[in-house]
Chain A
Amino acid sequence: MSSSADAAPMHLRATGQHQVAPEVMRPIMEVENVDVYYGDFRAVSEVNLDFGLNEITALIGPSGCGKSTILRSLNRMNDLIEGARVEGEIRFHGENIYGKDVDPIEVRRRIGMVFQKPNPFPKSIYDNIAYGPRVTGMKVQSMDDLVEDSLTRAALWDEVKDKLKQSALGLSGGQQQRLCIARAISVRPDVILMDEPCASLDPIATMRIEDLMQELREHYTIVIVTHNMQQAARVADRTAFFTAQPSEGNGDRTGLLVEYGTTAQIFEDPQDKRTEDYISGRFG
């Protein structure tokens, strides 16, 4: 962090102790030469990226750069979009999740997801948490304990413990999003994918989610897509910067990975001109 420490404006500099990522990453997921297509349209090309165990990795970049597309291909949610196709390999604990005989449903259980807009089911708070364990046929000794444990881990237990039977739709937006995180935890995933989880929340609710992510990092690996560079700087150990480029031939824009490194390095010593322009606000 030396020469070009001035590249990023002050407020964007990586701060806080937690960003001191270990020099040696223990990868839990590896993305190798991945292209994602929607029909004939190549949305993302040639992505190579590793995600470290118990780290928070942020995917940042302008709209249309394919960061959400990559995120959704990490747990095969892209399978649900007609015409979507992934080429290359995405390995989880060394196993290709797009390999033959791999059950996408099992992939989604092991790699959880939290969405941009809180999407609690129209059921009680309790049933929202119990839903995942039930549908995946998890052997649970006590559902009550599991619900309490999941809500506690999502820092929501104290607020809802007296109204577990009430509809989840009555919670505030921030509470709903923490409920969705608790719901994702309930099926004991190793990785949690977050697709702009704070996009629809106010700053205080956002702060609570960010604090929560730091706690969750003890036990889970988190990959977060965010539009908000300050957020990436605050929470992430590593950051990957994507951009969109016109692809040859037609006018479509294809996303690609520009630069990947520790958050401190990306924000304070970007190696690529495009990264530097983006984080210093010169991006057009």
Chain B
Amino acid sequence: MFAGRARPGEAVIKVVLRVAAAVAMVTTIGIVFALIVPAIGFFREVPIFDFLLGDRWAPRFADASFGVVPLVTATLWTTAIALLVSVPLGLGAALLLSEYATPGLRKTLKPILEILAGVPTVVYGFFALQFVQSTVFREWLRLDTGAFSVLAAGLVMGIMIIPTVASISEDAMSAVPMSLRQGSAALGANRMQTSLRVVFPAALSGIMAAIVLGISRAVGETMIVAIAAGSQARIVGGPLEQGQTMTGFIASAALGDSRVGSLEYNTLYAVGLLLFAITLTVNFISIRLVRRFRQAY
């Protein structure tokens, strides 16, 4: 009586859907292989400690040297500056939106912040180079700096990351139960006290996740640093110096047409692997933190 109709079409559909989902997995495996195979070729010629600890990066010189430290210092500078901008401003904006703004105001302000996240990074790069570095730093402030600086790149990158920090931490703050706020208010706390002593600590792991994701975006950002941070790989000693970041190196090296399998080509992937490892680690931390704040309520 209940014998089912055969539904071969549905079985096919299920397989198709599963295959589509598997594309995500294939991509990851692809990335890992694509990075590791040339990187192995690279480490056959360059000892891994020379790479990680060497302080001279000159892959195209006659006496080539492959110490990645200069690239890493430039990345650290731009990332640190970007965080100094985006964390306070992003958290401030998040608190305003989650604790003070009326629903109407939030509905207007959030899309504006989203636009900030949608501006193409080349346009940010242009802005960092032509306006921030050249007009503001050199013409207006008469700072002692060249055509490029990690400061200009980092500042603009920070602005770019504000929406990332703001939106994730606002989600975490909004997830704090209203009853906690009401409990605090019923004890005579004002909104600032409630925000700082109740909402902020309760949302802390989500806020940390937002910051960590901001770090990962800053480390991986390419176009802004390729345009505005400079192209000389050397250890960066101050914010007004120029420097080449890891991503900046990959971008500039891509401009030259290197032969597949050559040391120059493999160098690209060795740096790419390091970059991938850093962002993957940072991202795992972020996922863990987010999971913790989801469990909390």
State if A and B touch, Cβ cutoff 8 Å.
yes
Tell me whether B141 is interfacial, beta carbon within 8 Å. Answer: no
Contacts of A92 in B (CB 8 A): 1
Chain A residue nearest to B7 (CB atoms) is A105
Q: List, in ascending order, chain B residues with CB within 8 A of A103's CB.
A: 2-5
Q: B82-121 interface mask toward A, CB cutoff 8 Å, 1 = contact, 0 = none?
A: 0000000000000000000000000000000000000000
**Complex-state Cα separation, A101 to B3, whole angstroms:** 6
Closest-CB distance, B170 to chain A (whole angstroms): 30
In the bound complex, residues from chain B placing their C-beta under 8 Å from that of A106 are: 1-5
Does A25 sit within 8 A of B, measured CB to CB? Answer: no
A138 to B118, CA, bound (A): 50
Q: Are A93 and B3 in contact (CB under 8 A)?
A: no
Q: What sequence of 0s and 1s flags, for each residue 1-40 of chain B, a beta carbon within 8 Å of any chain A beta carbon?
A: 1111100000000000000000000000000000000000
User: In the bound complex, how far is the Cα of B4 from the Cα of A99, in angstroms?
Assistant: 12
Q: Is the CB of A107 within 8 A of B5?
A: no
Q: Confirm or deny: A137 has a beta carbon within 8 angstroms of a beta carbon on chain B.
A: yes
Q: How large is the interface on A (under 10, 10 to 19, 20 to 34, 35 or more residues)?
A: 10 to 19
Residues of B within 8 A of A93 (CB): 1
CB of A137 within 8 A of CB of B5, answer: yes
Contact between A102 and B5, CB atoms less than 8 A apart:
no
The answer to whether A159 has its CB under 8 Å from any CB of chain B is no
Assess whether A181 is interfacial by the CB under 8 Å rule: no
* Minimum Cβ distance to chain B for residue A93 (Å): 7
B3 and A95 within 8 A (CB): no
Tell me if A222 counts as interface (CB < 8 A to partner B): no
Complex interface: chain A residues within 8 A of B2 (CB):
95, 97, 99, 101-103, 106-107, 110
Expressed in whole angstroms, the minimum distance between the Cβ of B39 and any Cβ of chain A is: 42
A187 vs chain B, min Cβ distance (A) = 14
Task: Tell me the count of chain B residues lying within 8 A, CB to CB, of chain A.
Answer: 5
**Cα distance A107–B4 in the bound complex, in angstroms:** 9
- Contacts of B4 on A, CB cut-off 8 Å? 101-103, 105-106
Which chain B positions have C-beta within 8 A of A105?
A: 4
Cβ of A223 to closest chain B Cβ, rounded Å: 18
Q: Which residues of A contact B3 (CB under 8 A)?
A: 101-103, 106
- A165 CB, min distance to chain B CBs, angstroms: 30
Alpha-carbon distance A107/B3, docked complex (angstroms): 9
Smallest CB–CB gap between A27 and chain B, Å?
Answer: 16
Cβ contacts under 8 Å, B1 to chain A: 92-93, 95, 106
* Cα–Cα, bound, A132→B4 (Å): 16
Of listed B2, B4, B5, residue having the most chain A CB within 10 A: B2
Residue interface bits A103-126, CB-to-B below 8 A is 1, else 0: 101110010000000000000000
A107 closest partner in B (C-beta): B2
Q: For residues 207 through 261 of chain B, which have their beta carbon under 8 Å from a beta carbon of chain A? A: none
0/1 per residue, B32-73, Cβ < 8 Å to A?
000000000000000000000000000000000000000000
Residues of B within 8 A of A99 (CB): 2
B6 vs chain A, min Cβ distance (A): 10
Chain A 112-161 interface residues, beta-carbon cutoff 8 Å to B: 137
Looking across the interface, which residue of chain B has its beta carbon closest to that of A109?
Answer: B2
How many Å lie between the Cα of A105 and that of B6 in the bound state?
Answer: 12
A100 to chain B, nearest CB (A): 11
A92 to B2, CA, bound (A): 10
Q: Which residues of chain B have C-beta atoms less than 8 A from A101's C-beta?
A: 2-4
Min CB gap A91→B, angstroms: 11
- How far apart are A136's CB and chain B's nearest CB, in angstroms? 9
Q: How far in angstroms is the closest Cβ of chain A from B13?
A: 15
A97 to B2, CA, bound (A): 8
CB-based nearest A residue for B6: A103
Tell me the bound Cα distance from A227 to B3 in angstroms.
35
- Bound together, the chains give a CA A103 to CA B5 distance in angstroms of 8
A102 and B3 alpha carbons, distance in the complex (Å) = 6
Shortest distance in angstroms between B8's beta carbon and chain A's nearest beta carbon? 14
Question: Which residues of chain A (69-105) have a CB below 8 Å from chain B?
Answer: 92-93, 95, 97, 99, 101-103, 105
CB pairs A–B below 8 angstroms (25 shown): A92-B1, A93-B1, A95-B1, A95-B2, A97-B2, A99-B2, A101-B2, A101-B3, A101-B4, A102-B2, A102-B3, A102-B4, A103-B2, A103-B3, A103-B4, A103-B5, A105-B4, A106-B1, A106-B2, A106-B3, A106-B4, A106-B5, A107-B2, A110-B2, A137-B5
The 9 closest A-B pairs by CB, nearest first: A103-B4, A102-B2, A106-B2, A95-B1, A103-B2, A107-B2, A106-B4, A105-B4, A101-B3
10 A-B pairs besides A101-B4, A102-B4, A106-B1 with CB distance below 8 A are A92-B1, A95-B2, A99-B2, A101-B2, A102-B3, A103-B5, A105-B4, A106-B4, A106-B5, A137-B5
